[in-house]
Structure 1
């Protein structure tokens, strides 16, 4: 009996050795989960090997000195597919650069977990649905560019909480309602002195311009 158990144990160990080792790094697992849902005709993600200890050697991924992912650069890479909730696991991320691709589907609400995010660049894709209210939790965010997509619904008034926001571009979508005027929204420049519509919000045919002070139904008409 003992001999049979020993043989079985050796067999199990041999199978384990033959199987490719998966990375135990949670950020690597999250990025590989994203990779699995994407189409990559140009092989941009070819180096994303899940058997490595962490993703810091992958192309288009930048880590800090603690080997934590702080930047993801996939702009202008001809990638398509949907963005998933796994992006919310990259809690050390500072820069999410996914612009000028063919990403579709909705913006994951899980992006609101990225408390260290400074720049969110999702412009020039095919994203649909509404802007998640959860983005108002990105207290470090300075740059938000969601322009040139197919986003609908109103601009969440909660985004007025983003006190560090310096640049926002929501132009060329299908947003409706009115534009918040509180917080950083009061500082965004006008396109010209002859229009009430901010440059960052133009070409949204159902957007009615800045809301009135104290207006409750700011998304009226959506």
Structure 2
């Protein structure tokens, strides 16, 4: 096969492989969370890191391009820590981890979730300050952190979030 004949095949391969790469990166980020959690109710049993696409996992919602847009793990009896890798979920709009037993700090990397509309971490045992990096979440409408053991002041920068309806 000549180079001219090979070029269309290379282009087709590179275009078709892009969503899989994104899905793998997102799957890796989600599986990092899975490893940091204890799951007595087995709600994460479908989270298999060998699958190409995390969109087949329970409690994960994706858009038409197989990008993770929602993580619904509220009231799932999970214990453990949030992981900084969650900040890699570029298209995440809803992060629902309320009413669990999550401990430790809120990772500053959650401030990288530019598409986030709702961050629900209420009624856990999270500690430490509210990361000022959350002020970069310009699409955020709902930030629910109540019922935790957070310390320090609410970052003044959060007042600049024009879309925020509930804090």
TM-score by length of 1: 0.65
Alpha-carbon offset, residue 47 of structure 1: 0.2
Residue 117 of structure 2 corresponds to 118
Alpha-carbon offset, residue 24 of structure 1: 6.9
Partner SS state of residue 28, structure 2: helix
Alpha-carbon offset, residue 160 of structure 1: 1.0
Residue 78 of structure 1 corresponds to 77
Root mean square deviation of aligned Cα: 1.1
Q: Write out aligned runs for 1:1-222 (5 A).
A: 25-168=24-167
Alpha-carbon offset, residue 43 of structure 1: 0.3
Supply the distance in 2 between the matched residues of 1:73 and 1:24 (Cα, whole angstroms).
Answer: 18
**What CA deviation, in whole Å up to 9, does each residue of 1:178-219 have, x standing for no partner?**
xxxxxxxxxxxxxxxxxxxxxxxxxxxxxxxxxxxxxxxxxx
Supply the distance in 1 between the matched residues of 2:66 and 2:166 (Cα, whole angstroms).
Answer: 29
Supply the distance in 2 between the matched residues of 1:161 and 1:66 (Cα, whole angstroms).
Answer: 31
The number of residue pairs the alignment matches comes to 146
Larger radius of gyration: 1
**What CA deviation, in whole Å up to 9, does each residue of 1:14-66 have, x standing for no partner?**
xxxxxxxxx97100011011101110001010000011111001000000000
Partner SS state of residue 167, structure 1: coil
Supply the distance in 2 between the matched residues of 1:155 and 1:35 (Cα, whole angstroms).
Answer: 29
**What CA deviation, in whole Å up to 9, does each residue of 1:124-175 have, x standing for no partner?**
000000000000000000000000000010110010110100111xxxxxxx
**Structure 2 unmatched ranges of 5 or more:** 1-21
Supply the distance in 2 between the matched residues of 1:74 and 1:45 (Cα, whole angstroms).
Answer: 9
**Structure 1 unmatched ranges of 5 or more:** 1-22, 169-222
Following TM superposition, the consecutive aligned residue runs of length 4 or more in structure 1 with deviations greater than 4 angstroms are none
Greater relative contact order (Cα < 8 A, sep 6+): 2
TM-score by length of 2: 0.86
Residue 4 of structure 2 corresponds to none
Supply the distance in 2 between the matched residues of 1:106 and 1:44 (Cα, whole angstroms).
Answer: 23
